[in-house]
Structure 1
Amino acid sequence: MALLRDLGLTLGRWTGRPAAKVQQDSGDPDVARVRQAAGTGDWGTVRTVLEARAESEDRTELLWAVGDTAGVERWIAPILEAETDALPRLVAGIRHISWGWEARTGAYAQDVSQEQFEVFHTRLRTAERWLYEVAEREPGWTSPWYGLQMTGRGLQVGQSTARRRFEATVRRDPHHLGAHQQQLQQVCEKWSGSHEEMHSFARTAAFGAPAGTLLGQLVAIAHIEQWLSLDAGADAAYMGRPEVTASLREAADHSYRHPDFVRRGGWLQVCNTFAMAFSLAGERDAARECFEATEGRVTEFPWYYIDADPAAAYRGQRSSTGR
């Protein structure tokens, strides 16, 4: 989803609160640098930035900054012919995932044309070819397996294959947030899983990880996913259940409230997710704590579940806390 205009600057100044503004990335200067280089076809800079990061969660955001940039599929093609190493193939694979979803769009399946699906699947199959080649050349790398989790969901490879791809990712990086987010989506009811399986996975992953990691977010996402599946009225009743609010508090204590929590990587999205979950649950104090931590910086996920303008959704829920 493209960066959306912030409409709340005046309101933010008048109330003394930070204006709600969608933040495209974590603020890491290398993200902007690699995105700019990708936009101009500067492979030398793209390579330098990517090679300077460990092949783990730390490199994920940089890869997607390249992969989400239009035109990469054109300038990477001659590089793939000229160079034999894994990195350009990884970039090509990630770009084809993003390019594939661009063709499909975020519409419901019934609103996507057969032609769109054909382009979508063709691009994902191309991505799989590049990613498997990378995995063979660099068996210790995480990113190809993370990418294969995404292509697998789009190509509907089935739960067993999807689970193997997730396990391959986390064997290399046990607390990879993106990998866990992808697997959580895989076991959601809307992707042929179930609410029970989704919540079980979220809790096992979150509380199986050391305190202070980002994985506590999974518990909040699972409750938001179930809320989304319910009709109006039933959704609010679900979020207000004592066991749901207790679950959210427990996950928060194990994650961003813990003394070992470090504000790095996806921490801002974690706080935005808990802000949304607590505000939907009517837990005003807990939600206010999260809103204050974000300082008006809005991540597109999960707010686009409420409104096509994530900043508007953020402002609405923040107002409900009295802030």
Structure 2
Amino acid sequence: MQQDSGDPEVQRVRKAAEAADWATVRAVLEARPESEDRTELLSAVSDTAGVERWITEVLEAEPDATLPRLVAGMRHISWAWEARTGARAKHVSREQFEVFHTRLRTAEQWLYEVAEREPGWVSPWYGLQTTGRGLQVGQAVARRRFEATVRRDPYHLGAHTQQLQQVCDKWGGSHEEMHAFARESAFGAPGGTLLGQLVAIAHIEQWLSLDAGPDTEYIRRPEVTLSLREAADHSFRHPDFVRGGAWIQVLNTFAMAFSLAGNRHMARECFEAIDGRVTEFPWYYLNGSDPAAAYRRHRSAAGR
């Protein structure tokens, strides 16, 4: 079993980022055009500790280059969340919030500059969706940032996932708004896109919001299982579905959702398709320290 995004360049760019090897980071990023969605590669770089130190030297050495600004902006987002941690707001100190907001504002400065320099790029607007949620810019501004992203890439999974979070109950939206957005996005897209994952994420989000007992009662409702099945049929089970991009994460998400819903048959189909390739999301919801252990447990329960 391996933790695998399905994209071999993710590991390559992450190792280069860890080694402060800007030449390789730049080569990998430049080889992936914005039209093919390079946000996963950018996330691999931005989630790497220490990038905030060496990217400053790159910015000084290449003052007219746009790509280092994009990397700096994306890194400041991850660096901000490292300071905030994943704790609930009431458990985050005032000092942590100050660092969190300062780093997000710095990220916004870099990302707006990139967006101005490269109007057709998707990545800076995707990043601005994340900073906006952290800075609590409000639903209207958040929606405009989402729309700016999807004008450039209508079926961008990351952009839709960010907006789904924005309309979640925990970020000032509601369960009803979240489910409506998920279904409208998934079924408003052609059959075979990755956006069916949004329906599964929405059900997982509501399950997470409930106490033990009511959570199982909710996720095992017949209408939830039907909703998941309809989304699967329009997404990864559709004849036009292509195993590319974030498809492995999409199947992992459906595997978890169907497992929680008690639909062993559909869960097993997902586990068979991904064949041991586990992604951190969404399994870390079940075991933050060892997502693969949660994957193995549910795969075994599904008969795989």
Shorter chain as denominator, the TM-score bin is over 0.9
Unaligned runs of 5+ in 1: 1-18
Partner residue in 1 for 2:124? 144
Superposed, 1:8-19 pairs within 5 Å as 19=1
Write the distance in 2 (CA, Å) between the matches of 1:37 and 1:311. Answer: 25
Write the distance in 2 (CA, Å) between the matches of 1:288 and 1:219. Answer: 19
**Cα deviation, residue 176, structure 1:** 0.6
**Cα deviation, residue 71, structure 1:** 1.6
**Cα deviation, residue 281, structure 1:** 1.0
Match for 2:145: what amino acid?
Answer: R
Match for 1:128: what amino acid?
Answer: E
Moved more, 308-317 or 113-122: 308-317
**Cα deviation, residue 54, structure 1:** 1.0
Write the distance in 2 (CA, Å) between the matches of 1:186 and 1:38. Answer: 29
Contact 1:57-1:173 within 8 A present in 2 as well? no
Partner residue in 2 for 1:304? 284
Write the distance in 2 (CA, Å) between the matches of 1:215 and 1:254. Answer: 9
Partner residue in 2 for 1:184? 164
Contact 2:6-2:248 within 8 A present in 1 as well? no
TM-score, normalization by structure 2 = 0.96
Partner residue in 1 for 2:85? 105
Relative distance call for 1:305 and 1:57 in structure 2 (3 A) is farther
Partner residue in 2 for 1:87? 67
Contact 1:57-1:176 within 8 A present in 2 as well? no
**Cα deviation, residue 65, structure 1:** 1.5
How many pairs does the alignment contain? Answer: 302
Contact 2:115-2:125 within 8 A present in 1 as well? yes
Partner residue in 1 for 2:240? 260
SS of 2:95's equivalent?
A: helix
Contact 2:252-2:271 within 8 A present in 1 as well? yes
Partner residue in 2 for 1:11? none
**Cα deviation, residue 36, structure 1:** 2.1
Contact 2:5-2:279 within 8 A present in 1 as well? no
2:24 equivalent to 1:59: no
**Cα deviation, residue 33, structure 1:** 2.1
Match for 2:248: what amino acid?
Answer: L
Match for 2:34: what amino acid?
Answer: E
Partner residue in 2 for 1:320? 301
Write the distance in 2 (CA, Å) between the matches of 1:159 and 1:192. Answer: 8
Contact 2:6-2:246 within 8 A present in 1 as well? no
Match for 1:175: what amino acid?
Answer: Y
Write the distance in 1 (CA, Å) between the matches of 2:35 and 2:104. Answer: 22
Write the distance in 1 (CA, Å) between the matches of 2:160 and 2:283. Answer: 19
Partner residue in 2 for 1:13? none
Match for 1:315: what amino acid?
Answer: R
Moved more, 189-198 or 290-299: 290-299
1:198-234 deviation per Cα after TM superposition (whole angstroms, max 9, x unaligned): 0000000000111101000000111111111112221
Contact 2:287-2:293 within 8 A present in 1 as well? yes
Q: 1:96 aligns with which of 64, 76, 88?
A: 76
Q: Identity, % of aligned pairs?
A: 80
Write the distance in 2 (CA, Å) between the matches of 1:27 and 1:248. Answer: 23
